Amino acid sequence: GENVEQHPSTLSVQEGDSAVIKCTYSDSASNYFPWYKQELGKGPQLIIDIRSNVGEKKDQRIAVTLNKTAKHFSLHITETQPEDSAVYFCAASYNFNKFYFGSGTKLNVKP
Amino acid sequence: DTGVSQDPRHKITKRGQNVTFRCDPISEHNRLYWYRQTLGQGPEFLTYFQNEAQLEKSRLLSDRFSAERPKGSFSTLEIQRTEQGDSAMYLCASSQGRSGSYNEQFFGPGTRLTVL
């Protein structure tokens, strides 16, 4: 089955700096790669996603890149704000069937 | 509120007892997923339904776990003879589940189970 690895497990940045979180996946059949933000006591919330036919996608301060050859994808957050502090998860799926999640990155944005 | 809802939000039970959780997906969402999340980990896939059909079950879903979605709307997850290792957050998510459509998952707030 699919195996998704996520790094780093914790990330601390100064407000205004950029944050990068990286994930690798093992199953070349995976074709959908979402990123979720989870705040304490809440369910994960989709923040951005990318399909395998696209190399990069951007939404305001958030961007995701995908390298299918190397089987890795990354989340980039620019101009970080304290409200970006949360746990972020990457995931991989084939045709929206089973979703495999990474182990999470706790992002702390210091004011 | 038209999001995914889960009930109860918290459940404390004694080892050996049975528990049942309910998930109400977003209206007209055909696909429904169950996940388990332990502290400091990402959600682990348990099972998913397309309408009332259970299409796949994880090996994590032992014989003590059963899920149903009898009319293709709400779903229940039952754990029989609970063990302390079952303590976790149980998350439900739903998506449109239609071929050719955008099948983003929307998660509910989860049910936190504590087995004493």
The tens digit of pLDDT for each residue in B56-77 reads 898 878 889 999 999 889 999 9
Residue B101's pLDDT is what? 62
**Cβ–Cβ gap A89/B33 under 8 Å:** no
CB pairs under 8 A between A and B: 55
Please give the Cα distance from A90 to A25 (Å, whole number). Answer: 10
Span B34-54, average pLDDT: 94
- pLDDT band for B96, please (50, 70, 90 cuts): confident
Span A39-47, average pLDDT: 92
B63: left (phi over 0), alpha (psi -120 to 50) or beta: alpha
* % pLDDT > 70, chain A: 100
- pLDDT band for A53, please (50, 70, 90 cuts): confident
Mean pLDDT, chain A, rounded, equals 95
Question: Positive or negative CA dihedral for A40, A41, A42, A44?
Answer: positive
Residue B99's pLDDT is what? 65
Å between B14 CA and nearest CA of chain A: 23
Q: Is the pLDDT of residue A82 over 70?
A: yes
Q: Residues of B near A (CB-CB distance < 8 A)?
A: 4, 31, 33, 35, 40-45, 48, 55-56, 58, 91, 93, 95, 97, 103-110
Q: Is the pLDDT of residue B111 over 90?
A: yes
Q: Is the pLDDT of residue B1 over 60?
A: no
SS3 A84: helix
- pLDDT band for A43, please (50, 70, 90 cuts): very high
SS3 A83: helix
B98 or A90: which leads in pLDDT: A90
- pLDDT band for A28, please (50, 70, 90 cuts): very high
Which of B37, B95, B99, B102 has the highest number of chain A CBs within 10 A, making it the mutation to test binding with A? B37
Residue B100's pLDDT is what? 61
A61 or B72: which leads in pLDDT: A61
* A82 φ/ψ angles, rounded to the nearest 5 degrees: -55, -35
Residue A36's pLDDT is what? 97
Bridge-based pairing state of the strands B10-13 and B111-115: parallel
Span B44-53, average pLDDT: 94
Please give the Cα distance from A103 to B11 (Å, whole number). Answer: 24
B86: left (phi over 0), alpha (psi -120 to 50) or beta: alpha
Token pair of A4 as six digits: 């998704």
- pLDDT band for B2, please (50, 70, 90 cuts): confident
Q: What is the DSSP letter of A17?
A: S
Positions of E strands within B1-116: 5-7, 10-13, 19-24, 31-37, 44-50, 53-57, 65-68, 75-79, 88-95, 106-107, 111-115
Token pair of A11 as six digits: 């990330």
